[in-house]
């Protein structure tokens, strides 16, 4: 049943395909891959499918563009279904999530991390900053990434960043997928649909902007 879990590419404010796909295919769950651009809380866009399917999501870089957009996602009624750095089981499959993007000011794969962890960053700010500012909160932090590699095991990895098979992707995503035992990676961010396979055999699906794909990597909906 390849349609029991659907993967939804960056909505950027348009949720019509997600809603249509849920009504048509009746999946057990949908996984939203970030970059929502929310003007109101997330549940307002998805009201007609809440209760019909499980709704999970990871954040993208644009979900930190403003305080309002951030709160409409992270403080929404669906905030508890944030998959970032977590794993859930759906239909007998374990799905792990990694939201956000790599930032050179925090950690860029292949380079030494700028900071040991978030406490280290806060400690070295000159004006007693109490929390990570939004423009940096979208970053993938090295210590969290490494903890995920060590502590999580999953069949599927969903990310906003792409693995190395995409020309703007990162081998670090390949390594994460291998470390957690994933057989498949689904990602957003780059707005194009494609299927590929990493050298270790992990199948990769890039989900297009506003697109919906299934477990087999087939594109069911496109914008």
Cα end-to-end span (Å), the chain: 24
Q: Tokens 């199948």 appear where?
A: 203
Q: Based on the number of CB atoms within 10 Å of its own CB, is 82 exposed (0-12), middle (13-18) or buried (19 or more)? A: middle
d(CA 105, CA 125): 13
Half-sphere exposure for 107 (CA within 13 Å, toward CB): 21
d(CA 222, CA 8): 10
Q: Token pair of 186, please? A: 């689904």
Of the candidates 97, 90, 98, 96, the residue with the CA atom closest to the CA atom of residue 29 = 90
Domain positions in the chain are 2-221
**CATH code for 2-221?**
3.60.21.10
User: Tens-of-pLDDT digits for all 223 residues of the chain?
Assistant: 899 999 999 999 999 999 999 999 999 999 999 999 999 999 999 999 999 999 999 999 999 999 999 999 999 999 999 999 999 999 999 999 999 999 999 999 999 999 999 999 999 988 778 889 999 999 999 999 999 999 999 999 999 999 999 999 999 999 999 999 999 999 999 999 999 999 989 999 999 999 999 999 999 999 8
């Amino acid at each position: 049943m390849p349609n029991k879990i659907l993967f939804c590419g960056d909505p950027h404010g348009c949720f019509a395909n997600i809603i249509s796909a849920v009504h048509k295919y009746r999946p057990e769950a949908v996984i939203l891959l970030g970059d929502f651009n929310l003007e109101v809380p997330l549940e307002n866009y998805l009201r007609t499918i809440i209760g019909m399917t499980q709704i999970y999501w990871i954040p993208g870089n644009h979900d930190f563009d403003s305080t309002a957009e951030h709160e409409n996602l992270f403080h929404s009624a669906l905030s508890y279904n944030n998959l970032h750095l977590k794993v859930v089981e759906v239909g007998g499959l374990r799905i792990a999530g990694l939201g956000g993007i790599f930032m050179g000011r925090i950690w860029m794969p292949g380079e030494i991390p700028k900071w040991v962890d978030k406490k280290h960053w806060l400690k070295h700010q000159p004006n007693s900053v109490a929390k990570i500012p939004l423009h940096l909160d979208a970053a993938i932090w090295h210590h969290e990434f490494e903890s995920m590699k060590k502590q999580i095991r999953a069949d599927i990895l969903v990310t906003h960043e792409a693995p190395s098979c995409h020309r703007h992707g990162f081998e670090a995503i390949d390594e994460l997928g291998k470390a957690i035992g994933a057989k498949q990676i689904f990602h957003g961010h780059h707005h194009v649909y494609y299927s590929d396979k990493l050298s270790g055999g992990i199948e990769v699906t890039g989900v297009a902007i506003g697109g919906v794909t299934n477990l087999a990597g087939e594109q069911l909906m496109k914008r």
